[in-house]
Chains A and B, each alone.
Chain A
Amino acid sequence: METTGQLLLTVLMGAFLLGVAAFLARVEDWRSYTPLGAGGGAVGESGYGHAEKPAGLIRWFTTVDHKDIGLLYGLYATIAFVVGGLMVMLMRAELTTPATDVLGSATFYNSLLTSHGITMLFLFGTPIIAAFANYLVPLIIGADDMAFPRINAIAFWLLPPAALLIWAGFFPIPEVIPAQTAWTMYTPLSAGVGNGNQMNVGVDLMLLGLHLSGVSATMGAINFIATIFTERAEEVTWANLDIFSWTILTQSGLILFAFPLLGSALVMLLLDRNFATTFFAVEGGGPILWQHLFWFFGHPEVYILVLPPMGIVSYVLPRFSGRKLFGFKFVVYSTLAIGVLSFGVWAHHMFATGIDPRLRASFMAVSLAIAIPSAVKTFNWITTMWNGKLRLTAPMLFCIGFVSNFIIGGVTGVFLASIPVDLVLHDTYYVVGHFHYIVMGAITFAGMAGIYYWFPLVTGRWYQRTLAKAHFWLWMIGTNVTFFAMVLLGYGGMPRRYATFLPQFATLHQIATLGAFMLLVGGVIWVYNIYVSWIEGPHVQSGDPWRLDETSLNTAEWDWFDAKRETSLAATDGGEEVKADGGEVVDGAPADDAADDE
Chain B
Amino acid sequence: MARIFDRDTLLDLTVNVIPLGIILFFVVAFVLVDPFGGLDFYGRVLQMGLLVFPFVALAILTYVSGKAIAGDEKRSPVFFQGQATMEGAQTRHEAEADIEAADEAAAAATAEAEAEAEADATDDDADPDTTDEE
Contact = CB atoms under 8 A, between A and B. Distances in A.
Contact of B61 (A336, A356, A362, A554): A336
A18 interface: no
B15 A366 contact: no
Interface stretch (A30-38, A191-199, A322-330): A322-330
Interface string B1-41: 00000000000110110111011001000100000100100
Interface string B36-57: 1001000110111011011001
Contacts of A359: 43, 46-47, 50
Interface stretch (A80-88, A91-99, A236-244): A236-244
A563 to B, nearest CB: 10
Q: Is the interface of B mostly helix, strand, loop or mixed?
A: helix
Contacts of A238: 65, 68-69, 71-72
A142 B85 contact: yes
B31 to A, nearest CB: 12
A334 interface: yes
B85 A362 contact: no
A326 to B, nearest CB: 12
A244 B81 CA distance: 9
Contacts of B81: 240-243, 315, 324-325, 328, 555
Interface string B74-97: 011111111111110010000100
Given A330-B15, A365-B26, A373-B15, A142 B51 contact: no
Given A337-B15, A340-B61, A324 B82 contact: no
Given A337-B15, A340-B61, A356-B43, A365 B84 contact: no
B17 to A, nearest CB: 10
A555 B36 contact: no
A270 B45 CA distance: 33
A86 B114 CA distance: 68
Contacts of B47: 356, 358-359, 361-362
B128 to A, nearest CB: 44
B86 A341 contact: no
B69 A329 contact: yes
Given A142-B84, A325-B81, A237 B76 contact: yes
Given A358-B36, A358-B39, A366 B84 contact: no
B69 A370 contact: no
A365 B61 contact: no
Given A328-B81, A333-B66, A369 B19 contact: yes
A485 interface: no
Contact of B23 (A365, A552, A555): A365
Contacts of A334: 15-16
B12 A330 contact: yes
Contact of A236 (B18, B36, B66, B84): B84
B69 A555 contact: no
Nearest to B44: A358
Contact of B65 (A328, A336, A358, A555): A336
B103 interface: no
A372 B54 contact: no
Interface residues of A, number: 52
Contacts of A557: 82
A179 B113 CA distance: 77
B58 A337 contact: yes
B120 interface: no
A253 to B, nearest CB: 10
Nearest to B79: A240
A332 B69 contact: yes
A163 B95 CA distance: 49
Contact of A336 (B39, B62, B70, B86): B62
A239 B69 contact: yes
Q: Is the interface of A mostly helix, strand, loop or mixed?
A: helix
Contact of B79 (A235, A369, A553): A235
B75 A237 contact: yes
A334 to B, nearest CB: 5
A313 to B, nearest CB: 13
B73 interface: yes
Interface in A372-422: 372-373, 376
B41 to A, nearest CB: 11
A363 B50 contact: yes
Contacts of B23: 365-366, 369
Nearest to A339: B61
B86 A240 contact: no
B19 A372 contact: yes
Nearest to B54: A344
Given A315-B82, A333-B13, A555-B83, A239 B50 contact: no
Contacts of A553: 80
A571 interface: no
Nearest to B64: A336
Contacts of B53: 344
A163 to B, nearest CB: 33
Contacts of A337: 15-16, 19, 58, 61-62
Interface in A554-584: 554-557, 559
Given A340-B54, A344-B54, A333 B78 contact: no
Interface in A330-365: 330, 332-334, 336-337, 339-341, 343-344, 356-359, 361-363, 365
The listed residue with most A CB atoms (<10 A of its CB), out of B15, B30, B79, is B15
Contacts of B46: 356, 358-359, 362
Given A356-B43, A362-B26, A555 B82 contact: yes
Given A329-B12, A330-B15, A240 B50 contact: no
Contact of A239 (B15, B54, B78, B83): B78
A235 B87 CA distance: 11
A140 interface: yes
B51 A366 contact: yes
A235 B84 contact: yes
7 contacts: A235-B79, A238-B68, A244-B82, A340-B54, A359-B50, A365-B22, A559-B87
Interface of A: 140-142, 233, 235-244, 315, 324-325, 328-330, 332-334, 336-337, 339-341, 343-344, 356-359, 361-363, 365-366, 368-370, 372-373, 376, 552-557, 559
Given A341-B19, A343-B57, 11 more contacts: A333-B66, A334-B16, A340-B57, A344-B53, A362-B47, A365-B51, A368-B22, A369-B23, A372-B22, A373-B19, A552-B95
Interface of B: 12-13, 15-16, 18-20, 22-23, 26, 30, 36, 39, 43-44, 46-48, 50-51, 53-54, 57-58, 61-62, 65-66, 68-73, 75-87, 90, 95
